[in-house]
Amino acid sequence: MSPDPFNELDPTQTVKVLPRHLAGPGPVDLRVAWPFPFDEDWALHQPDEGTAYATSPCLRLWTRFVPEPEKWGKGTWTIGANRVPLGPIYWQITFDATTPIELLHDVHVELLDLYLEDRYSDQEWLFEDATAPHEAYAPLFARGWSHDVKTDGTQTFLAREGLGGVRHRYTIGGSGGPAWRSWGGYPSEPHWKATFSFGTPTTLVAAFTASLISTEPLHRTVQNLPFHTRSHLYVATTAAAKQPPSYHPPCRLRLRSLAGHDDLPTT
């Protein structure tokens, strides 16, 4: 194992690090994760217990954060889509709260784009996405990730150091698991996991994998870097201790109650 490159730095020092899948979650901030127009027509509901929801105006698209700091994974981010408002879940994406927040941001940006395309056209991109699977995993090849195909209908892509992966189930037969699964850290004890159910638009998976392998470094304080894998990180540049976040809130959040809609879907 390589020596820890952060031993000589102050724990409060902010650094820019890569690869992204080993950088740690960063600050849990709804304004970073959810780039929705809350000042216009999207609704944000955040009751006192800490669970937060965001919903589209049509109520067919929702995203949720449930913090559970006492549990492994520290909580769950969930994105869901229903063909009818507040109806049965058609597809779903989940992320551990320990997933790098920038990955969630990029998936939600693509989600908003798909929603707007649906809203202003006669297409159903949220439910009938024609994007081919290779558009989600081909960039992994370009970044040097390994590829292994098994006869059980899965193919797995691993990061060069072996501490991050994406698994794609290319056949539905005999499986009740997700279509896509990703993780960061040791496979036996990953620091974070993400799953994409069958029916999830491949466009969203592609946005996730593109963010996963992006060479834009992430801002983290030394003390918040995952301890067990940080010897595999490298410092892109150092930054001032009070470096601003990688993403700026796209709008001012305005909390709007979803009165009468407390029956949002649950997993």
Residue owning tokens 């979803």: 258
Per-residue buried b or exposed e for 212-241, using 16+ beta carbons within 10 Å of the residue's own CB: bbbeebbbbbbeebbeebbbbbebeeebee
> In 3D, which of 9, 3, 1, 4 has the Cα closest to residue 237?
9
Report the range of poorest mean pLDDT among 148-152, 165-169, 227-231, 255-259: 255-259
Domain ranges of the chain: 14-239
Q: Residue 140 in contact with residue 208, Cβ under 8 Å?
A: no
Q: What is the pTM of this model?
A: 0.87
Report the range of poorest mean pLDDT among 67-71, 117-121, 156-160: 117-121
> In 3D, which of 225, 205, 208, 189 has the Cα closest to residue 73?
189
> In 3D, which of 208, 212, 130, 101 has the Cα closest to residue 164?
212
DSSP single-letter state for residue 50 = S
Tell me: the pLDDT tens digits for 27-60? 989 989 999 999 999 999 987 678 999 999 999 9
* Alpha-carbon radius of gyration of the chain: 19
Question: Per-residue pLDDT averaged across 227-255, rounded?
Answer: 57
pLDDT at 157 over 90: yes
pLDDT of residue 132: 95
Residue owning tokens 């983290």: 220
Residues ≥6 apart with Cβ < 8 Å to 260: none
Q: Residue 93 in contact with residue 200, Cβ under 8 Å?
A: yes
